[in-house]
Amino acid sequence: MIPIKNKEGIIRMREACAVAASVLDLLKTKVQPGISTYDLDQAARHMIEQYGARSACYGYKLGPRHPAYPSYTCISVNDEVVHGIGSLKRILKDGDIVSLDVVVHYNGYIGDNAFTMPVGSVSPRIEELLRVSREALDLGIQQATVGNRIGDISHAVQTHVEKHGFSVVRDMVGHGVGVSMHEDPQIPNFGRRNSGDKIKPGMTLAIEPMVNLGGYKTKTLGDGWTVVTADGSPSAHFEHTVLTTDKGPEILTIPRPLSTLSTAPTQSSAAR
């Protein structure tokens, strides 16, 4: 069953998403040639702590035998689609692209967002990959309208991406988000119109196109986490958390100053 947020839940989701978006916005300013992905991850860790939140990524496990995720954010470079682990050995250089995925736990709720950006100058085709992926996110969000179905979001993303000669990842999907990082429904970036669950007011959805310059197939590296394109082509990832309302979709992951947050973090949400 897809969770429907009540008034209190929506207030707290707005707060958690504002924290996640603010951290992501600040983290973007740290990206430059010569910085390591470890240093970016540690910068994000300190930012999250300043907001009285904690990383929802750190220590996360897919199952009892799966290794716990060791970083505070997911920082994925070039052919890394998602779940890249910060490393002192991974130094960003001019011409790279880097995906920053920030997920925080604040006052009992999750905020989730991602953004891919160039490091220095990139080729025109890479610029197009980033532009089209971001446009696909916007088009998907427009379909998160009460009365539509999840497949309408999926179809909008896939159609736009493939029209420009790129491909959408099929092994991983968007999802509901709330008190847990992953809730129903699943939101593929491919699909048919008028298919899937019906969209109702009060859903909070993490819509996240993952778009490859080459083919859609992926593989997971030996660390058990980092997902890369099977053909080594670059990949882009953009994500917003969206609230569905009778007035249309509301993007929740919008940066806000710390002083504007109205709910204090609970002990369970405080940084640790």
Residue 259 lies in a domain: no
Does residue 212 form part of some domain? yes
What predicted TM-score, i.e. pTM, was given to this entire model?
0.94
Residue 266 falls inside a structural domain: no
Let me know if 13 is exposed, middle or buried by CB neighbors in 10 A (0-12, 13-18, 19+).
buried
Q: Does 86 reside within a domain?
A: yes
Task: Count up the domains in the chain and report the number.
Answer: 1
Per-residue DSSP letter, 259: G
Length of the chain equals: 272
> What is the rounded distance in angstroms from the CA atom of residue 207 to the CA atom of residue 174?
5
Domain CATH number, residue 220: 3.90.230.10
Which backbone phi and psi does 22 adopt, to 5 degrees? -65, -40
The answer to the question of residue 249 being in a domain is yes
Q: What is the pLDDT along the chain (272 residues), one digit of tens a residue?
A: 899 999 999 999 999 999 999 999 999 999 999 999 999 999 999 999 999 999 999 999 988 899 999 999 999 999 999 999 999 999 999 999 999 999 999 999 999 999 999 999 999 999 999 999 999 999 999 999 999 999 999 999 999 999 999 999 999 999 999 999 999 999 999 999 999 999 999 999 999 999 999 999 999 999 999 999 999 999 999 999 999 999 999 999 999 877 777 665 654 444 33
- Cα 237 from Cα 206, distance rounded (Å): 12
Q: Is the residue at 260 inside a domain?
A: no
Is 112 annotated as ligand-binding? yes
Domain that holds residue 207: 7-254
The answer to whether residue 163 is domain-embedded is yes
The reply, when asked if residue 105 is annotated as ligand binding, is no
d(CA 35, CA 23): 18
Q: Is residue 264 part of a domain?
A: no
Q: Is 162 annotated as a binding residue?
A: no
